Amino acid sequence: MSKVFVFGHRNPDTDAIASALAMAHLERTLDPSLDVEAVALGEPCVETRYALDHFDVDAPRVIEHARPEADGVILVDHNERQQSVADIADVTVHKVVDHHRIANFETAAPLWFRAEPVGCTCTILHRMFGENDLTPPADLAGMMVSAIISDTLLLHSPTATDLDRTAAQALAERAGIDLDHYGTDLLRAGSDVGDASAAELIDRDAKSYTMGSTTVRVAQINTVDVDSLLARRDEFLAAMNAEARQQGYDLFVLLLTDVLKVDSDLLVVGSPVEAVEKALGVTVRDGHAKAPGIVSRKKQIVPQLTEVLRAT
Does one domain contain both 281 and 213?
A: yes
Does one domain contain both 185 and 207?
A: no
What does pLDDT average to in each consecutive run of 10 residues of the chain (312 residues)?
92 97 98 96 95 98 96 96 94 97 90 97 98 98 98 94 98 98 94 89 91 95 92 96 97 94 94 96 96 92 95 77
Does one domain contain both 215 and 78?
A: no
Q: Where are the beta strands (DSSP E) in 177-304?
A: 206-211, 214-223, 251-258, 263-270, 288-291
Does one domain contain both 74 and 150?
A: yes
Q: What is the pLDDT of residue 108?
A: 87
Question: Strand pairing of 72-76 and 92-98?
Answer: parallel
Write down which residue in 174, 191, 208 finishes a domain: 191
CATH of the domain at 184: 3.90.1640.10
Question: Strand pairing of 263-270 and 251-258?
Answer: antiparallel
Write down which residue in 147, 170, 191 finishes a domain: 191
Which of 51, 52, 23, 50 lies closest to 37, judged by CA?
A: 23
Instruction: Quote the DSSP letter at residue 250.
Output: S
CATH of the domain at 222: 3.10.310.20
- Within a 13 Å sphere around the CA of 49, how many CA atoms are in the beta-carbon half? 10
Q: What is the pLDDT of residue 193?
A: 85
Does one domain contain both 165 and 37?
A: yes
Q: In DSSP terms, which residues pair with 98 in a beta bridge?
A: 115
In this structure, are residues 29 and 134 in contact, taking their beta carbons and an 8 Å threshold? yes
Q: Give, in order, the Cα–Cα distances in Å from 20 to each of 6, 9, 37, 225, 293.
A: 5, 10, 9, 31, 30
Does one domain contain both 120 and 156?
A: yes
Q: Where are the beta strands (DSSP E) in 259-306?
A: 263-270, 288-291
Write down which residue in 191, 220, 244 finishes a domain: 191
Q: In DSSP terms, which residues pair with 62 in a beta bridge?
A: 40
Query: Is the omega angle on the peptide bond into residue 272 within 30 degrees of 0, that is, cis?
Result: yes
d(CA 237, CA 147): 29
Does one domain contain both 293 and 263?
A: yes
Q: Which domain holds residue 215?
A: 198-311
SS (H, E, C) 77-103: CCCCHHHCCCCHHHCEEEEEEECCCCC
Instruction: Quote the DSSP letter at residue 300.
Output: I
Q: What is the pLDDT of residue 1?
A: 57
In this structure, are residues 93 and 78 in contact, taking their beta carbons and an 8 Å threshold? no
d(CA 5, CA 28): 12
Does one domain contain both 85 and 231?
A: no
Q: What angle do CA 267, 269, 274 make, to 5 degrees?
A: 90
d(CA 85, CA 87): 6
Does one domain contain both 36 and 167?
A: yes
Query: Is the omega angle on the peptide bond into residue 32 within 30 degrees of 0, that is, cis?
Result: no
Does one domain contain both 253 and 179?
A: no
Element holding 214 (H helix, E strand): strand 214-223
* Phi and psi torsions of 217, nearest 5°: -110, 125
Does one domain contain both 233 and 145?
A: no
- Number of structural domains, the chain? 2
Task: Enter the pTM of the model.
Answer: 0.86
Does one domain contain both 165 and 265?
A: no
